[in-house]
Amino acid sequence: MIDDPAAISLLETMVELYSPSGCERALAEFLVDWMREAGFRAWRDEVGNAMGSPHLPPCEGEGEGLLLLGHLDTVPGFIPVRREGDRLYGRGAVDAKGALAAFCVAAARVGPLLHSPVFVVGAVEEEAATSKGARALLDYFAPQAVVIGEPSGWDRITVGYKGRLVVDFQLQGEIGHTAGPGGGVCEEAVAFWQMIRRQADQWNEGRKRLFERLDPSLRSINSSKDGLVERVEMTVGLRIPPGFDVEAFKSQLLAQAGEATISFRGQEPPFRASKSTPLVRAFLHAIRSQGGQPRFTVKTGTSDMNVVGPVWACPILAYGPGDSSLDHTPEEHILISEYLRSLRVLEEALRQLGTEGRDRG
């Protein structure tokens, strides 16, 4: 394994700073300080994003160039930070502090040598179904190309994400005797969930690839009663494939809700990027330069690519070290060797992109 104490120290410190969604400030302030010490112009914006560029003074076309967009936040659930050989354990090690740390180090080492501006952003609330940080960037930047910091494995490039819809179901009614003929509100909630599952099964018939399938999940169901009234609240999440008519589906759910209150949130469209861009070619070359055989992948979850991709309409991909099957799990950890290998890939990709001038995106 290549030894790179400075890069490893940055990652370890970032993982040690526990930053679940809504609690990113300490990490953001640390990163701004780190970037300034590395020679960046760096600041926190009005929503709490950590932002920086190694270009001093501001470049012509500020807000253009290459944007490396990672996220500061993690899902909840503190994991004691520890090293076991090549493994670094801790919440966010994979999703996605490894990618953001590599962005910062690569930009610090290569960015000042490039003709085009490079920006690094650690966004807030990517994991909170609000994407508050990414949305605040939509009018600020007009990038020529974007790399989203998400775990793909050091030799893989992610070019697509499914969309998302969160459905909240609420129902209350008078309590009846359990031996009576009528069902209670809990049964109605379960019936509503089963109806969603049937609709998903109908859509999925004949569709074998996970990226093409509608994936519902029952995220929570809670009931209560006070002796007179019983209540139930249920949340259903759906991973939306390309081609699925979300608005028609929402209308159908509302029409079948009966006395229940139905609301929707966290809606993001599915997005798939082009593989035929200079950005992708730069990463293919960079992975090969480190001895890898590059592969493309699409993800069944969402990322900030779903937010910024349709608006900016520029070359975009997601890249970062780590095994995404460890995302959000109690065993979340990253291989330091893979993190360092991804850093070398990023440095080479930046050289490929930035030394040929601003027209290459």
Q: Which two tokens stand for residue 347?
A: 């440095």
SS3 197: helix
Q: Name every residue whose Cβ is closer than 8 Å to that of residue 37 and which is 6 or more positions away in sequence.
A: none
DSSP string, 260-317: SEEEEEEEE--EE--S-SHHHHHHHHHHHHTT---EEEEESS--THHHHHHHH-S-EE
**Residue 168 annotated to the active site:** no
Question: Do residues 12 and 81 touch, judged by C-beta distance below 8 A?
Answer: yes
Distance CA 22, CA 127 (A): 10
Residues in the chain: 361
Eight-class DSSP state of 3: -
**Residue 233 annotated to the active site:** no
Task: Kindly name the residue from 64, 95, 125, 126 that is annotated as catalytic.
Answer: 126
Question: Do residues 45 and 123 touch, judged by C-beta distance below 8 A?
Answer: no
Distance CA 39, CA 6 (A): 15
CA 136 to chain centre: 15
Task: Kindly name the residue from 64, 73, 230, 268 that is annotated as catalytic.
Answer: 73
Catalytic site positions: 73, 126
